Amino acid sequence: MKILITAGCPESERYPDILLSPLLLGFRKEISISLGQLSALTPNENQIDVVDEYYFGDIDFSKQYDLVAISSITPHAIRNYEIADEFRKRGATVALGGYHPSALPEEAKKHADSVVIGEAELTWPQLLKDFENGKIKSLYHQLEPIDPNIIPPLKRNFEKGFYCTGVQATRGCQNRCRFCSVHNVEGSHIRKRPIDNVIKEIKEIKSNSFFFADASLTGDAEYSKELFNGIKDLHKHFECFGNINDLEDDELVSSSKLAGCISWWIGFESISQESLDNVGKKTNIVKNYSKIIKKIRNQGIAVKGLFVFGFDYDMPDIFNKTLNAIFEWKIDDAAFLILTPCPGTPLFKQLENEGRLLTRDWSKYNFGNVVFEPKNMSTDELWNRTRSIAKEFFSFSNITKRIMNNPNRNLYTFSNNIISNFLVGRYINKRDYGF
């Protein structure tokens, strides 16, 4: 059976810069983990093509496939529907899965022969069997969370030098942030894969660097410490996501450092405690940010922050206050996002009920557009000021200052920091929306 496993991506959303990206990715051509997962779950006797449009993959519509599997997040949904429609026109059977189809299966069904809701470890192999027997169902729904013991390692090597460097040790998150869509697919309890399985998988990654694709690697600190201790002799570098309150644990941070952590990506979201409380981000206590950031950086690990604007308690002074705080805390890298109510989240429901959603053009749900009516500022103000602080943060002089302040003097991490800062700065200047 000939199968295409793909994730479409609109042109404007593709990986920032084809010239600089080989430096950042270490001359690899990356494949995202959802495609690595689906490929690992597809029996070898099938002939599989894997194309990730986000990382420069080109879909060849003239190729004949029996089955096309498309994984979709919300901002890429429209592009993925185009791909689905085109392949169906050409006679292929199409299955849609991932975050967006899991949240809006009825919408996805209009573009697919089958929709897969939730995790794929059991549903995808079942769909393949049913398809072979000519009995594909229109819906596959994984109701129970998958047993983490049966999650196989990702497939990593693909044709034409494409490679997958993500690893997922845990799934799910026990926190209940009202804007977050992790629960839609991964559930609201943390599930941990056996540590030996994760270590074995990391050992098999050919590259010296990889990233943990876990929603948060601090949900169970004891598990993460054991994992970090288990990989410390592998001499690899990695980045991962964590919650700020959990990173107060010195042992957790130092064990991550010994294991090769070069940076923690932290969802600070806001420096307004009222905004955080209102969206249920209970893990974040703003008055503790400064001392925890300092502790992490003192261990030689970079702190990279995710900041979101447009919460109902955000007043117009939130932008300057945030930028000043970030400079004071010496944050090493950051992403500035506009609050986006992804379908399936409590926030989406709330804004829909309040009649505050401005569009259902999913391509605008990319954290760089204003898709709802903000409370304390105009849509233009939210957009312009998010973009303007992003530009300021990534100005040449501020990037230079950050690079000189980099807490990690190792040559690899130093150059990684330079490239990622300049790459994002360049991306922002090219993009026509805030970031």
In the bound state with ligand SF4, the residue whose beta carbon lies nearer, of 112 and 276, is: 276
Listed in sequence order, the residues at least 6 apart from 282 whose beta carbon sits closer than 8 Å to its beta carbon are 175, 176, 276
Among 182, 213, 318, 331, binds ligand SF4 (CB under 6 A): 182
SS3 category, 215: coil
CA–CA separation, 400 and 340 (whole Å):
31
The interface with ligand SF4 within residues 265-324 (CB under 6 A) comprises 267, 281, 283
Among 114, 168, 184, 216, binds ligand SF4 (CB under 6 A): 216
Stretch of 123-131, 135-143, 176-184, 244-252 contacting ligand SF4, by CB under 6 A: 176-184
Q: Give the DSSP letter of residue 260.
A: T
Q: How far is the CB of 21 from ligand SF4 (least distance, A)?
A: 26
Q: Are 307 and 334 in contact (CB under 8 A)?
A: yes
Q: Which stretch binds ligand SF4 (CB under 6 A): 136-144, 169-177, 342-350, 368-376?
A: 169-177
Quote the least distance from Cβ 210 to ligand SF4, whole Å.
Answer: 20
Distance (Å, rounded) from C-alpha 393 to C-alpha 238? 24
Question: Closer CB to ligand SF4, residue 67 or residue 177?
Answer: 177
Q: Which residue has the tokens 């430096």?
A: 23
Residue type, 385: R
Q: Which is nearer to ligand SF4, 8 or 242 (CB)?
A: 242
Using CB under 6 A, pick the residue from 50, 169, 205, 215 that binds ligand SF4.
Answer: 215
Q: By CB under 6 A, how many residues form the interface with ligand SF4? A: 11
Query: For residue 316, what is the DSSP state?
Result: T
Q: Residue 169 interacts with ligand SF4 (CB under 6 A)?
A: no
Please select the residue that binds ligand SF4; options are 84, 120, 136, 177, rule is CB under 6 A: 177
**CA 206 to CA 198: how far, in whole Å?**
15
Q: Please, are residues 306 and 337 in contact by the beta-carbon 8 Å criterion?
A: yes
**Among 92-100, 175-183, 251-259, 424-432, the segment contacting ligand SF4 (CB under 6 A):** 175-183
What does the DSSP assignment read for 5-49? EEE---GGGS-S-TTTHHHHTTS-EE--HHHHHHHHTS-TTSEEE
The piece of 25-33, 174-182, 345-353, 357-365 that touches ligand SF4 (CB under 6 A) is: 174-182
Only one of the segments 70-78, 171-179, 247-255, 387-395 lies at the binding site for ligand SF4 (rule: CB under 6 A); that segment is: 171-179
Among residues 243, 255, 345, 416, the one that binds ligand SF4 under rule CB under 6 A? 243
Tokens 């932008």 label which residue? 319
Closer residue to ligand SF4 (CB): 39 or 216: 216
The yes or no reply on residue 184 touching ligand SF4 (CB under 6 A) is no
User: Between 21 and 184, whose beta carbon lies closer to ligand SF4?
Assistant: 184
Q: Is 180 in the site for ligand SF4 (CB under 6 A)?
A: yes
Q: How far apart are CA 320 and CA 308, in angstroms?
A: 13
The residue type found at 379 is T
Q: Does 71 bind ligand SF4 (CB under 6 A)?
A: no
CA dihedral 103, 107, 110, 116 (to 10 degrees): 10
Among 37, 102, 175, 406, which residue sits at the site for ligand SF4 (rule: CB under 6 A)?
175
Distance from C-alpha of 369 to C-alpha of 386, rounded to nearest angstrom: 10
Cβ atoms 304, 334 nearer than 8 A: yes
Cite the DSSP H helix spans in 114-203.
Answer: 123-132, 182-186, 195-203
Please check whether residue 151 is in contact with residue 193, taking contact to mean a CB–CB distance below 8 angstroms.
yes
Task: Please give the residue ranges that form the binding site for ligand SF4 (CB under 6 A).
Answer: 173, 175, 177, 180, 182, 215-216, 243, 267, 281, 283
